[in-house]
Amino acid sequence: MCGIAGRILNAPGQVGRDLVALMDAQEHRGADSTGFAVYGTPMDQGYVLRGMGFDKAQMDSDLELFRATLKEHGSDLMSDPQIVQDAARHYCFRMEISDPRDLQQWVSDADELSGRIEVQSCGRSLEIIKDIGGAEQVSEKHKVHDMIGTHGLGHARLATESSVLPNASHPFWARPFSDVAIVHNGQITDYFTQRDRLRRQGYRFLTENDSELIAVWVSDQMKQGLTMEQALKKSITSIDGVFTFMIATPDGIGFAKDRFAMKPLVVIEQAGELAAATEEQAVRRVFVDESDVINHDGPSLFGIWGVGNRSMAA
């Protein structure tokens, strides 16, 4: 049992604060870890990179090795790394980097450092923050309350399978596409079959979490030329299990459910803004006017919402 949430604002605002409220209200659904994907003001050049290292004693040498992979691909740091120790005594870092010659190839090479350093997101506007503990605890350590943006996702996890450590927590980045993130509530029953197929195609999995499969699966569909909307629709009949997942790009948020629509998603829309969550009492933390129209989403298996006048495409 997990809790998921999404939030869209009309203009850049306190989306971090709202996501923390949405997840705090659902902490009973999963207090092992909490994560956020926040879409801030896009960078004209360069990327915001979030990651974690697994051995704080080796942090300096690991970060130097990581920087060397950037330089090999024509990139470098644009700012000093900001470093926070996470609840598992690993370290989390945030840095801004200049454009690599080939982002996808750099991500592939950087993934070879898995076990020492893991890239959790790399985007013009996307930042993924995740750690052990509840929403307020994670927010206090990583300053999620203070993050400004137009939209984002949240997740509260109960670790029913794979590790409880932050790298196995949600959201997951649809690597190597720079600004695509997913959160998921449910279970993928054909996980091993799908994972083995994708591994044979050359995809790398960094965790044993079945939710990472969705991010990799979506990335694979996009590489084949599908739009985000097409990938969402295809997932309904291509992935087996009981699930609801939400996916975000710089242009908006979408969701997909399994064909039986077993997992809930409550949606409130008002004046072009939106809040969605697993439970109604969570969205009431953001929209408290009783005149708001609540869409419990019923049997609907698919939905997509753009930010402002943008259409959601990737």
Rounded percentage of the chain residues whose pLDDT exceeds 90: 60
Residue 289 lies in a domain: yes
**Three-state secondary-structure class, residue 309:** coil
56 lies in the same domain as 199: no
Determine the residue type at 255. Answer: F
Per-residue pLDDT at 289 exceeds 80: no
Per-residue pLDDT at 129 exceeds 80: yes
The tally of domains found in the chain comes to: 2
12: CATH = 3.60.20.10
Rounded percentage of the chain residues whose pLDDT exceeds 70: 92
Q: pTM for the whole thing?
A: 0.92
Q: How far apart are the first and last CA of the chain?
A: 30
Q: Which of 49-58, 94-103, 106-115, 137-146 has the lowest mean pLDDT?
A: 106-115
More confident call, 8 vs 223: 8
Residue 49 lies in a domain: yes
Nearest-angstrom CA–CA distance, 168 and 50:
15
* pLDDT computed for residue 206 by the predictor: 83
Half-sphere exposure (Cβ direction) of 302: Cα atoms closer than 13 Å: 11
If you average pLDDT over residues 266-293, what whole number do you get? Answer: 82
64: CATH = 3.30.70.600
**Three-state secondary-structure class, residue 25:** coil
300 lies in the same domain as 156: yes
Nearest-angstrom CA–CA distance, 269 and 252:
14
pLDDT band per the 50, 70, 90 thresholds, residue 310: low
More confident call, 162 vs 13: 13
Residue 51 lies in a domain: yes
Determine the residue type at 37. Answer: A
The two structure tokens encoding residue 224? 């084949």
Residue 313 lies in a domain: no
166 lies in the same domain as 295: yes
If you average pLDDT over residues 36-56, what whole number do you get? Answer: 93
Among 1, 2, 17, 228, which one carries the catalytic annotation? Answer: 2
pLDDT in tens, 82-123: 999 877 788 999 999 999 999 989 988 888 888 899 999 999
In sequence order, the 6+-apart residues with CB closer than 8 A to the CB of 209 are 161, 162, 163, 168, 172
C-alpha closest to that of 50 among 175, 199, 218: 175
If you average pLDDT over residues 44-54, what whole number do you get? Answer: 93
pLDDT band per the 50, 70, 90 thresholds, residue 52: very high
pLDDT in tens, 223-246: 899 988 898 889 988 999 999 999
* pLDDT computed for residue 314 by the predictor: 41
Which residue, 89, 107, 124, sits at the end of a domain? 124
Name 26's bridge partners: none
Residue 311 lies in a domain: no
Is residue 2 flagged as an active site residue?
A: yes
268 lies in the same domain as 279: yes
Residue 314 lies in a domain: no
Which residue, 82, 99, 124, sits at the end of a domain? 124
266 lies in the same domain as 150: yes
Residue 103 domain boundaries: 43-124
34 lies in the same domain as 178: yes
Per-residue pLDDT at 309 exceeds 60: no
207 lies in the same domain as 132: yes
Q: Mean pLDDT score of the chain, rounded to an integer?
A: 88
Per-residue pLDDT at 192 exceeds 90: yes
Residue 296 lies in a domain: yes
Nearest-angstrom CA–CA distance, 266 and 147:
24
**Residue in the block written with tokens 């996890």:** 157
Which residue, 92, 107, 124, sits at the end of a domain? 124
96 lies in the same domain as 236: no
142 lies in the same domain as 247: yes
Per-residue pLDDT at 255 exceeds 50: yes
Determine the residue type at 281. Answer: Q
Per-residue pLDDT at 9 exceeds 50: yes
Residue 21 lies in a domain: yes
If you average pLDDT over residues 170-183, what whole number do you get? Answer: 89
* pLDDT computed for residue 292 by the predictor: 61
* pLDDT computed for residue 313 by the predictor: 45
In sequence order, the 6+-apart residues with CB closer than 8 A to the CB of 167 are 52, 118, 120, 206, 207
92 lies in the same domain as 131: no
* pLDDT computed for residue 166 by the predictor: 74
106 lies in the same domain as 136: no
37 lies in the same domain as 72: no
In sequence order, the 6+-apart residues with CB closer than 8 A to the CB of 193 are none
If you average pLDDT over residues 76-82, what whole number do you get? Answer: 93
